[in-house]
Amino acid sequence: MTRHLNIRNAISLLLILFGAILVAAGFNRFLIPHQLLSGGVSGVAMIIGYYTEWNIGLLYLLFNIPIIVWGVIAVGRRFVLLSIVAVALTTYFMQVIPEEPFIQDPLLGAVFGGVLIGIGCGISLWAGGSSGGFDIVGYILSLRWNFPIGTAIFALNSGVVVMLGYLFNWDLALRSMLSIFVTGKVVDMIHIRQLKVTAFIVTRCKDQIVERLHRLPRGVTVIKTEGAYTKSSQDMLMTVTSRYELAELRKIIREIDPKAFVNIVETVDIIGEFRRHK
């Protein structure tokens, strides 16, 4: 168990490292050279940096501290520890990667910068952490109200873009909004914990499957069924889980009852109690 946990932590740290490199590259090679924003805490750091010529990476680190403290209280220790590592690594790589434009067109910079940052943030979230800032706020909101985290981040960033438009010009603001929109969409493509599915499992191994599903942990409803052709009685299990856990669900069913009939459908909404992982 300890060895498995160490491997998991090592993989998470490697993913966080890769995500931090992508985020820093998106900032320094695509957004900052064109004075564009990524939104959120990093966007505020960029606005102050553009005005004062202070180090944007260090401002990014400073502004993340109170949000990380909130994350410790609201989310959990492992998530926040990985987020601290991600913020520290992003700050470091922002000092290493030169602030030079990779492409000259600011519109392309907005799009591809948003893609890189979205992939980096999504990888960090998938690994169990975040890239800090509004990612932590968006994650907390998505846990409480069950909507896509990328959408939450996009909504939170709108105020920062309005500030940019007011202080600088609306061309920069709208290009930044495009970058933030792309980032949010890419994050939602990678981070799929908030997407839910309902699985209907017809099986003769009810007790074993129920016991394994409870370890996820997920609630299960047992429904007595009868085959229309064979007239034989069987049990049908109904459970709602996230897309993120779907691979584990398939693995459990294949191990216990390879002949089970499984129907998986997308879940539009959930009303009532449903356990959401932190």
| Cβ-defined contacts of 243-247 (< 8 Å, 24+) | 243/192, 243/193, 243/195, 243/196, 243/197, 244/192, 244/193, 244/195, 245/216, 245/218, 246/197
Do the Cβ atoms of 116 and 154 come closer than 8 Å?
A: no
The mean per-residue pLDDT over the stretch 96-114 comes to 91
pLDDT at 75: 64
Q: Rounded CA gap, 150 and 148, in Å?
A: 5
Res. 252: pLDDT tops 90: no
Do the Cβ atoms of 165 and 176 come closer than 8 Å?
A: no
Domain ranges of the chain: 2-190, 196-266
- From the list 20, 244, 188, the residue with the least C-alpha distance to 120 is 20
pLDDT at 141: 67
pLDDT digits 0-9 by tens, 49-95: 887 888 888 888 888 888 777 777 766 667 778 888 888 899 899 99
Q: Rounded CA gap, 244 and 193, in Å?
A: 5
pLDDT digits 0-9 by tens, 141-186: 666 665 566 666 666 667 767 776 777 678 878 888 888 888 878 8
Q: Rounded CA gap, 219 and 213, in Å?
A: 7
Res. 257: pLDDT tops 80: yes
Average pLDDT, the chain: 79
The amino acid sitting at 272 is G
pLDDT at 153: 64
What architecture is the 196-266 domain classified under in CATH? 2-Layer Sandwich (3.30)
pLDDT digits 0-9 by tens, 231-248: 777 888 898 877 656 777
pLDDT at 278: 46
Res. 277: pLDDT tops 60: no
- The two tokens of residue 269 are 């909404």
Q: Full-prediction pTM beyond 0.75? A: no
- The two tokens of residue 169 are 């010009």
Q: Rounded CA gap, 118 and 66, in Å?
A: 23
Res. 1: pLDDT tops 60: no
- Give residue 11's pLDDT band: very low, low, confident or very high (50, 70, 90): confident
The phi and psi torsions of 154 (rounded to 5 degrees) equal -60, -45
Distances (CA, A) of 143 to 14, 149, 217: 25, 9, 16
pLDDT at 193: 58
The H-assigned helical ranges of the chain are: 2-26, 40-52, 56-74, 77-96, 106-126, 134-145, 149-167, 170-190, 206-214, 246-256
Q: Rounded CA gap, 188 and 202, in Å?
A: 32
pLDDT at 270: 65
The mean per-residue pLDDT over the stretch 91-101 comes to 91
- Give residue 4's pLDDT band: very low, low, confident or very high (50, 70, 90): low
- From the list 277, 196, 278, the residue with the least C-alpha distance to 238 is 196
